Amino acid sequence: MPPIIEIKDLSKKYGKRTAVNQLNLAVEAGEIFGFVGPNGAGKTTTLRILATLLRANGGEAFIAGHSVRKAPRGVRGVIGYMPDSFGIYHDMRVWEYLDFFGACYHLREGERKRLVNDLLELVDMTPRRDEMVDKLSRGMQQRLGLARTLIHDPQVLILDEPASGLDPRARVEIRELLVELARMGKTVFFSTHILADVAEICTRVGIIEAGRIVATGTLDELQRGLATQRAVHISVLDRATEAQEFLSALPGVGGVEAHVEQNQQQRTRLEVKFTGDDAALSAMLSGLTARSIPIVHFSEDSQNLEDIFMQLTKSSLD
Amino acid sequence: MSAIPVQPTPIRRTFGEWLRRNPITLKEMRSRMRGRRAFAVLTVNALLLGGLVSLIYMTYAANTQTFNSPSNLQSLGKLIFATAVGMQLLITCFTSSSSAVGAISSERERQTFELLRTTLLPARSLVLGKLAAAVLFNLLVILSAIPIASLSFFFGGVTLEEIAIASVFLIVTALAFSSIGLFFSSLLRRTSQATAVSTVVTLILLFGIPVFMLIIQGLLSTMTYYGGSRTGMTSVEAELTRNFVIWLLISISPISAGVATLALLLENKTALSMTLTLSNGTSVSYPAPWIAYTVVYLLLSVLLIALSVRAVKRVDK
């Protein structure tokens, strides 16, 4: 099946400044794809091109097979777009707001009535149905905005910083809502600065820097791709020297440092620099146990998304 | 939630059906009538017209001769009607352009424009929906003046023809000046800029053109006097040109077109044509200024609506 979002060599320039530079990306249906990058990396520009609000200078993008350049109306029918900061109408009630946008998608009155009720229930706003939109909190407005993007039952949600400016509780609620939407079969493509959200809910991540995608994949794939050397921590009760000699002789081991833990047990912690794969790591543990070395702890340091992000976007700081 | 197939826009609809189904018109009308502004505009309009008509009545009533002759009463009726329509015309020019001037720019300022742009609502429906809401509101303002203008019917003298012409004149004015406001709103990013430009254009059309017409008339009279000696035209040709230019200028300003139409009705007793006599005694007929005004302003409205749709449709580059 072709990807639901396909971006091919997409470029956008503002005068002499290149905002998006030959960007290529594919997102499969049903994914929650996190689009991460530093400020000015080209996230919003890319999202606005996908939402048919901005014309690219080069390349092409397709959503559910519709070209954003040649068939913008087709694209609008299959996407729900929520910009970073979006306005609200001050003189509208919550249900009127959703009903109005439903009418903008040519939905019939009866269908709109049912959909408005369903959506308010989905975003947990049924009790606020008759409140004026401008009286809602920022978190509530964001949830209403999300409900608005769903009014025509789109296949793809394009969300620009959906959790920005929200308090921790509202952020968690939005996150849960995105997972629920993915469960309903929607593809969620969202940009964010909040790496914890990405790590928590995204099935895949794309890191963009200076208008180019520098890495895509699952969090595991990114960790593996970036790790040049693994750090393994082993704690032994006794025979530390023997363990150190055995480990140093193994292929792929770059060095072993021993530290005596300053506690009652007086364990020795060995820090092993290692470039082997998972099988070699398992063989390392088997070798130690075969020699009856008393191991009490065996673990590997894992990079978190923040480390990966910092490493990949380092050049923007240089 | 089950999948809802997006309905294609039906191709043929009656205007009433289109109006009821256009979400923009409904939203705008709802918003306008919810706020205090609509109430304030209607009240100020009624107070202004009522005050002016009362003043005229009191001035006439002070003269005891007024109520002795039917022709005096008819004159009073005509004057009340002409004053009410003239005043309403001025008010309509300003309220129409100001009620449409924020239509698109305020959506941009409020950051709701992009939300609308990503829906399936065509740019044409957005523009026409905004325009319809502005025109309907102004028609409501005009309708609210009918009880005051109809005081003239107690005194007689106002013909059905005059009522029809006044209605056409006011409706066309509401449409045209709303289109002007809407056009600048779609063209300029800020409502304040659009308001400033639209007000200047309204003032030029209302007062600038009549002043310009007087200047041109003076210049063309000189040209006519010298005849063909400097322009290469005979004096009759020069006179014809002068008359045509003046007729055109009269017809493109609401004030001059209104005054000329009123004079035509009072003097010539005809509402369809205007006859001018040249110095050699030849009579030349032109369509009455209100007809030319209607045609020119309807064409201008169509052009401005088309340009507004184009501006709204434009994808950012």
ipTM of the complex: 0.81
A101/B6 CB distance under 8 A: no
- Per-residue pLDDT tens digits of chain A, which is 318 residues long: 789 999 999 999 998 899 999 999 999 999 999 999 888 889 999 999 999 999 999 999 999 999 999 999 999 999 999 998 878 888 899 999 999 999 999 999 889 999 999 999 998 899 999 999 989 988 889 889 999 999 999 999 999 988 877 788 888 888 888 999 999 999 999 998 777 778 888 999 998 988 998 888 887 777 766 666 778 899 998 889 999 999 999 988 888 888 887 676 778 999 998 888 888 889 999 999 999 999 999 998 766 677 777 767 765 444
Do A199 and A233 fall within a single domain? no
A184: closest chain B residue by CA: B1
**Which whole number is the average pLDDT over B297-317?**
90
Do strands A268-274 and A230-236 pair parallel, antiparallel, or not at all (unpaired)?
antiparallel
- Tell whether A137 and A252 lie within a shared domain: no
Instruction: Establish if A140 belongs to a structural domain.
Output: yes
Distances (CA, A) of B295 to A52, A180, B169, B248, B261: 38, 58, 11, 12, 15
- Whether residues A219 and A233 share a domain: the answer is no
CA distance A136 to chain B (A): 16
For residues B125-131, average pLDDT: 95
Domain identity same for A238 and A155: no
Q: Label the pairing between strands A212-217 and A204-209.
A: antiparallel
Last residue of a domain, one of A189, A224, A259: A224
CATH number (domain holding residue A272): 3.30.70.260
Cα–Cα distances in angstroms (integers) from residue B267 to residues A205, B240, B264, B270, B271, in the given order: 82, 22, 5, 8, 10
Dump pLDDT digits (tens) for B220-241. Answer: 767 655 555 555 556 677 778 7
Of the candidates A73, A81, A85, which has its C-beta nearest B111's C-beta? A85
- The answer as to whether A308 is a domain residue is no
Residue to substitute from B115, B121, B317, interface A, most A β-carbons within 10 A: B115
User: Could you tell me the CATH number of the domain that includes residue A147?
Assistant: 3.40.50.300
Give domain status of residue A214, yes or no.
Answer: yes
pLDDT tier at B151, thresholds 50, 70, 90: confident
| Contact between chains at B6 and A77 (C-beta distance less than 8 A) | yes
- Examine residue A310 and state whether it is found in any structural domain, yes or no: no
Residues A119, A246: one domain? no
- Is the CB of A87 less than 8 angstroms away from the CB of B112? yes
Among A106, A115, A180, the strongest candidate for a mutation testing the B interface, having the largest count of B CBs within 10 A, is: A106
Could you say which of A209, A224, A239 is where a domain stops? A224
Q: Residue A309 domain-assigned?
A: no
Rounded to the nearest angstrom, the minimum Cα separation between B113 and chain A is 8
* Inside any domain, residue A266: yes
Q: Between chains, do B119 and A119 touch, taking CB under 8 Å as contact? A: no
- Band (pLDDT 50/70/90 cuts) for residue B317 is low
Is the confidence at residue B10, as pLDDT, over 70? no
Query: Which residues, other chains included, contact B175 with Cβ-Cβ below 8 Å and sequence gap of 6+?
Result: B96, B131, B135, B297, B298, B301
Task: Give domain status of residue A315, yes or no.
Answer: no
If one compares A140 and B301, the residue with the highest pLDDT of the two is: B301
Enumerate residues 6+ apart whose C-beta is below 8 A from A237. A265, A267, A294, A296
Least confident of B62-66, B114-118, B128-132, B280-284: B62-66
On whether both A280 and A200 belong to a single domain, the answer is no
The answer to whether residue A202 sits within a structural domain is: yes
A119/A237 same-domain check: no
Give the minimum alpha-carbon distance from A56 to chain B in angstroms, rounded to a whole number: 8
Residue A199 and residue A251 in one domain: no
The pLDDT of residue A102: 95
Is the Cβ of A85 closer than 8 Å to some Cβ of chain B? yes
Mutate to test the interface with A, among B118, B191, B315 (most CBs of A within 10 A): B118
Top pLDDT among A81 and B275 is at A81
Over residues B45-55, mean pLDDT: 91
| Interface contact A55-B34, CB threshold 8 A | no
Domain of A197, in residue numbers: 5-224
A122 touches chain B (CB under 8 A): yes
Structure tokens, B36: 């205090």
Same domain, A297 and A158: no
The sheet that has A66-67: what strands, in order across it?
A: A17-27, A5-14, A58-63, A66-67
Q: In what order do the strands lie in the sheet with A230-236?
A: A253-260, A268-274, A230-236, A295-300
What is the arithmetic mean of pLDDT over B151-164? Answer: 85
Residue showing tokens 């380092």:
A314
Same structural domain, A167 and A30: yes
Beta carbons of B27 and A92 less than 8 Å apart: yes
Last residue of a domain, one of A170, A198, A224: A224
Å between B262 CA and nearest CA of chain A: 43
Select, from the ranges A309-318, B77-86, B223-232, B300-309, the one with the highest average predicted confidence (pLDDT). B300-309
- Residue A230 has a pLDDT of 79
Interfacial A residues in 35-64 facing B (CB < 8 Å): 48, 51-55
Contact list in A for residue B112 (CB cut-off 8 A) is 86-89
Do A118 and A243 have their domain in common?
A: no
Judgement on whether residues A185 and A280 belong to the same structural domain of the protein: no
Q: How many domains does chain A have?
A: 2
At residue A54, the pLDDT reads: 93
- CB within 8 Å: B6 and A105: yes
A159 to chain B, any CB pair closer than 8 A? The answer is no
Chain B residue numbers touching A87 (CB-CB < 8 A)? 107, 110-112, 115
Q: Say if A121 is an interface residue toward chain B (CB within 8 Å).
A: no
Task: Chain B: give the shortest CA distance to residue A107, in Å.
Answer: 6
